[in-house]
Structure 1
């Protein structure tokens, strides 16, 4: 597992593009695990804070119960539609997976019982249509092997 700042140090250009996609909109999609192991997806706000990706969850929310029971999660950036006619100019999609680690609430939190977390990152991926638009490009970062770039026809 890794903190966001480790990815920024190891692969700064990749990290900057991933961060730009996550910062492109307020709502990200988060996947948590229900008690029976099936996935639950929810909207979530997340931010890059002091070398970490952090997020909060409202008290009593199902996703808060999910991560307190099983901290594994995945997060997807806001989806940006490709421009008409040329999908290779679209920025792509960013996603990450890891574990939610509970942290103390900020001092000015108005929500008693809310949960605040940083994400210990297991993997980050960026996918987009290549140029020419006849292949997919997959860039990723993993703690055991660092940055990789692959293509798929």
Structure 2
């Protein structure tokens, strides 16, 4: 299993940028797979703790049932537009894909299931310093960090 800590150890600056985007807003979007294989999009909150990226599912929520049946997921940060007149200041967006591992009941007052991410891909999409090219940085376990610029 590849934990969030593994990403931080391999690429600390990249991981810090991605983490900042993921925690900048409370609500993110997660994609799971329904029983028929079609995608389901749900809102979600995440937490970084003890080197893990974790999230929960309320009792009887479909996303939790999806993840118990098929642990594959994709997580997407909140999306904001680049600042008018200063596109290079746009923090970009972050995406993470992997497999969710159920760790049992949620801690705290809310009932539900807790999950941690087995990280298989981390992506940061942003603009270059001039603000005129799209930059896609992506990290995979065992393959490291790659960067692609597009017009």
TM-score norm. by structure 2 comes to: 0.94
Q: Which residue number in structure 2 is paired with residue 39 of structure 1?
A: 39
CA–CA separation in structure 1 for the residues paired with 2:95 and 2:40? 16
- What residue number does 1:56 align with? 56
Offset, 1:71: 0.4
The one of 119, 122, 127 aligned to 2:120: 122
Which moved further from structure 2: 119-128 or 80-89? 80-89
SS at match of 2:66: helix
Query: Deviation of residue 35 (structure 1)?
Result: 1.0
Deviation at 1:88, TM superposition (A): 1.8
Q: Distance in 1 between matches of 2:99 and 2:28?
A: 16
- Counterpart for residue 90 of structure 2: 90
Check conservation: 2:106, 2:113, Cα contact below 8 A. no
Instruction: Determine the C-alpha separation between the residues in 1 that align with 2:145 and 2:50.
Output: 22
User: Structure 2 vs 1, CA of residues 23 and 110 (structure 1 numbering), >3 Å: closer, same or farther?
Assistant: closer
CA distance in 2, matches of 1:50, 1:99: 18
Distance 1:143 1:29 in 2: 23
Residues 66-108 of structure 1: CA deviation (Å, up to 9, x unaligned): 1111100000112233211222210000000000000032453
Distance 2:72 2:16 in 1: 24
Q: How far, CA to CA, are the matches of 1:49 and 1:74 in structure 2?
A: 19
- TM-score normalised according to structure 1 size: 0.93
The aligned counterpart of 1:81 is 81
Distance 1:139 1:59, change over 3 A: same
Instruction: Give the aligned partner of residue 5 of structure 2.
Output: 5
Q: CA deviation at 1:109?
A: 4.1
Gaps of 5+ in 1: none
Structure 2 CA distance for partners of 1:105 and 1:19, relative to 1, 3 Å? same
The farther-off stretch of 77-86 and 39-48 is 77-86
Structure-2 separation of matches of 1:149 and 1:86: 22
Question: Which residue matches 1:69?
Answer: 69
